[in-house]
Structure 1
Amino acid sequence: MDISDFEGATVTHDLNAPVPEDLSESYDLIFDGGTTEHIFDVAACMDNLNALLAPNGVISACSPGNNWFAHGFYQFGPELVYGYWKHGCGFDVLDCVMLPEMPRDKELKILDPAIKGVRPRMRGKMPSQRVYLYYEVRKGQHAHRWKRALQTDYVRKWRDYEVASDNDDGEFTKLRQTHAASSSNEGAIQ
């Protein structure tokens, strides 16, 4: 799929706009090897990937993570994986790593920031070269279209404080409860 068939795409579509209904849940595997950073409306793009993916399907992505200045619109971090895919859409995270472009530096597994309530600490771990965010997520039985995605470490900090209204949909309250429950798994690093 691409916005144009200049590179041989068999399906042409602008991922800034909703995908046609006839493509809904059509794919068991979606590989993003460098597309999403070029789509200005990231929320629409990610929602489209969710819509295109069949139940139990997997999204495998290798996106710019650091030192990709001027490559596309965005560089992505682990909040895309955990704040959006896991907590915002209920997907299962199969893998999330910082993957350096050059093999001399090792990949670094990144765990859910909601578990510790702090952002991944990358000081001294981030190489000076370009780095990818590589992740795999599965559309499991609890997956859904997103209603709200919030930065995971803040959600944990907010759990004992007054927060903005849910607009009566209850999603933020459920998200806070999910984060509170996951905080009992304190054995994880990062």
Structure 2
Amino acid sequence: MGIDIHNLNFLAHARDLGVSFERTLAIGRQAVFIEDWELEQHRQLRRLPPLNEPAAQAGQPRYFEPLMQQWLGARVADSVDASPYENARLIHDMNLPWPRDGACGAERGAYDAVLDFGCLEHVFNFPVAWRNCVDLCRVGGHVFHALPANNLSGHGFYQFSPELFFNLYQPAHGFELRGLYFALKPDRLHWWRVANPLEVKRRVNLCNSHEVYMLVLARKLRETATLPAPQQSDYAQDEWVHGPSASAAAAAAPGRRRAVVQALVKLRAIDAVRAARERLRVWRTSGLDLPAPDYQRVDVHTLIGKP
């Protein structure tokens, strides 16, 4: 768990949106994984004072509290972990519902910002862990996620689809989704704003050749009771519930593409064509661009730069 340059820029963007970090809780005590020159560039871009950190021994991590307090206005920078090995103030296994009593129970609804930066992909019981994040956030506060989205299989239990967070953070559930972006690990200067599948009426898929992280910012509008299990947006459409859609009927209708496929099957060439198509797809997606219109590129320094 930690704050890299994408996460730091995301925090700065949230600050510009008016997000309060006065009382901040990190899921897992956050180490800082940012090169000194990146920190200095960010400091100059944002016109921030020099960061005053305690001296760290060689090989020991730098932690997030000085950064949160000095650059983002945090009065409290707490953290929770299942183990005390990194000296988190709160000890709790996020697989389990947040207690209602005791020292941990007193923190329910106490935080302006809850940071899930690289944590929930490592927690098996994701629905419970996500609900804990929400319950720890005060009404009017914000929940942050920075989680693996693509080409990170094996990093944790899960990779996440934007569909999940578009579905969870709905006004009907008591939330406002204020931003959902993809960030490619090798490109520190750009993010990609992701289209909402419910709005574009189709699945927003991604096949590419780079590690992709998802950045999510949501505001809690009210306390909520038990929420319904998410239903993927295209399965929640009226035509899926009540009958076949026009698009599905059109796809089933014979056409030129169908005739070509049938001809290739007769020639026993369909497997070779599909293999060539996959090689072409890999070649086309090996760059840093994501396909429009489902992904719109955002210049990060323009977004967070101040006059």
TM-score by length of 1: 0.76
The partner residue of 1:4 within 63, 66, 83 is 83
| Gap regions ≥5 residues in structure 1 | 163-188
Alignment of 1:17-96 (within 5 A): 17-21=96-100, 22=105, 23-86=107-170, 89-96=173-180
Q: Deviations over 1:131-170 (max 9, x none)?
A: 10111000014865522211112212546517xxxxxxxx
Match of 1:114 among 195, 198, 204: 198
Question: What letter matches 1:150 in structure 2?
Answer: Q
Count of residues in correspondence between the two structures: 161
Q: 1:75: how far off? A: 0.5
Aligned equivalents of 2:124, 2:224: Cα separation in 1: 24
Query: What's the secondary structure of 1:93's corresponding residue?
Result: strand
**3-state SS of paired residue (2:124):** coil
1:71 CA drift (Å): 0.8
AA aligned opposite 1:134: L
User: Quick one: which of 215, 218, 226 aligns to 1:137?
Assistant: 218
* Distance of 2:192 and 2:115 partners within structure 1: 21
> Does residue 16 in structure 1 map to residue 100 in structure 2?
no
Q: Is residue 100 from structure 1 mapped to residue 184 from structure 2 by the alignment? A: yes
Higher RCO structure, 1 or 2 (CA under 8 Å, sep 6+): 1
Per the TM alignment, residue 111 of structure 1 is displaced from its structure 2 partner at its CA by: 2.5
Question: For 1:53 and 1:145, how far apart are their aligned partners in 2?
Answer: 16
Partner residue of 2:47? none
The change in CA–CA distance for 1:111 and 1:143 in structure 2 (over 3 A counts) is farther
Query: TM-score, with normalisation over the residues of structure 2?
Result: 0.48
Query: Share of identical aligned residues, percent?
Result: 27
SS in 2 for 1:6: helix
Q: SS at 2:90's partner residue?
A: coil
Match of 2:229 in 1: 148
Instruction: Give the unaligned 5+ runs of structure 2.
Output: 1-79, 244-292, 295-307
Instruction: State the alpha-carbon separation in 1 of the partners of residues 121 and 195 from structure 2.
Output: 22
Retained in 2: the 8 A contact 1:89–1:145? Answer: no
Structure with more helix by fraction: 2
